Amino acid sequence: MAKGPSYGFDTLQIHAGSSPDPATGSRQTPIYQSTAFVFQDSEHAARLFNLQEVGYIYSRLTNPTVAALQERIAILEGGVGAVCCSSGHAAQIMALFPLMKPGKNIIASTRLYGGTVTQFSNTIKRFGWSAKFVDFDDFKAIKSAIDEDTQAIFCEAIANPGGYITDLDKVSSIADAASIPLIVDNTSATPYLCRPIEHGATIVVHSTTKYLTGNGTVTGGCVVDSGKFDWTKSGKFPSLSEPEPAYHGLKFAEIFGELAFTFHGIAIGLRDLGMTMNPQAAHYSLLGIETLSLRMNKHVENAVKVTNWLESHPAIEKVTYAGLSSSPYYKRVEKICPKGAGGLFTISLKGGFDSCVKFVDNLDIFSHVANLGDSRSLVIHPASTTHRQLTTEQQKAAGTGPEIVRISIGIEDADDLISDLKQALDKSLR
């Protein structure tokens, strides 16, 4: 379908990137379960490999089902292009890959998913990259952390696990002043609640595993390109601005313009890193996105009702949901996430670690799993699971101390969820 600006989000989440299959007339995007695609002739093959023509070669690089998902997410985010890959973690490496080289660093928020903190603290060092972790509520600290080797700023729109809201407008202005891209993980918000590109983000990443797919069936990731960054201006990004030896000196920024980052992600990132999304996963994610706005509205509605109830329970020390009037991030919700603060938050139990264990083990409707953004309500104790590899200081900075439980509210009946939480909290006090 056309990208026409007159189409609303609810229409685009169903139709963007999708059209009847030209071979069969199938209205739903087929699963193109094929490793390779037949070339028209030798010249056609050469044009594809030279990046002179867009088309399908091999499913590590491009696949029609995955392409439909890429277009849908890019349109919903307001980007010019997107590259889907095997997981959210893969998306983060894919986003950094064109920007980084040994000796370079990124500025990262302290409030990130524990696996991301571990990836940035340890794993990226094997590439010779490093990360400086900063409290993103301290804008002066962000500015001070930037040096001549800083290549990007990284944060989450709605931070996992606490549901904190990042002031993307202020952070993007800092990135702009330093002539470096801002990368925003929009997994917890989705483009329905927040569109980071409209707040100055250069690149948006997703774990499509979570709210976008919404049914807990497949893993996936996506990197969305705003198309608004000048990769040639500073000379800091030679992978995009200088001749690429593997393509006979082609310059991505010169040839592909606003789509330079996207084409690099496919032609270099997927080609050499191989973090490919399989077509069946793309199919499930396309189906999930069709109901994204409906689900996100229900997630928000339930989260508001449940968190207001939780604040009054005697076992609870604190609830971090930004949609509560008691939250220090409450005023940011209207500016950054005008349709609501999402369905993710943490609770702090007065009884500490032991009470958290009792609480989690006595829940019935809530599933104890290492995931979020499912249609089902989910719960986990981060300090002993998702954030276990972090130091005590890192856990506290991320809001995942031993007394903290992360809750991902689903789309069930809110009264049933409250009833389940009540009986488990009551037992945690014994």
Cα dihedral 169, 396, 204, 189 sign: negative
Cα radius of gyration (the chain): 22
The CATH superfamily of 293-428 is Aspartate Aminotransferase, domain 1 (3.90.1150.10)
Q: Give this prediction's pTM.
A: 0.95
Spell out the per-residue pLDDT of the chain, length 430, in tens.
545 458 999 999 999 999 998 889 999 999 999 999 999 999 999 999 999 999 999 999 999 999 999 999 999 999 999 999 999 999 999 999 999 999 999 999 999 998 999 999 999 999 999 999 999 999 999 999 999 999 999 999 999 989 999 999 999 999 999 999 999 999 999 999 999 999 999 999 999 999 999 999 999 999 999 999 999 999 999 999 999 999 999 999 999 999 999 999 999 999 999 999 999 999 999 999 999 999 999 999 999 999 999 999 999 999 999 999 999 999 999 999 999 999 999 999 999 989 999 999 999 999 999 999 999 999 999 888 877 777 878 877 777 788 999 999 999 999 999 999 999 999 998 7
Stretch(es) of the chain classified as CATH 3.90.1150.10: 293-428
Q: Hey, which residues does 407 pair with through a beta bridge?
A: 345, 379
Could you give the residue range(s) of every CATH 3.40.640.10 domain in the chain?
9-288
List % helix, strand, coil for the chain (3-state, nearest 5).
Answer: 40, 15, 45
- Per-residue pLDDT, 388: 76
Partner residues linked to 85 by β-bridges? 221
Task: Please tell me the predicted confidence (pLDDT) of residue 22.
Answer: 87
> How many whole angstroms from its chain centre is CA 148?
27
Q: What's the confidence (pLDDT) of residue 123? A: 96
Counting beta carbons within 10 angstroms of the beta carbon of residue 152, is it exposed (0 to 12), middle (13 to 18) or buried (19 or more)? buried
Architecture of domain 9-288: 3-Layer(aba) Sandwich (3.40)
How, if at all, do strands 150-156 and 182-185 pair?
Answer: parallel
CA-nearest of 53, 9, 7 to 297 is 9
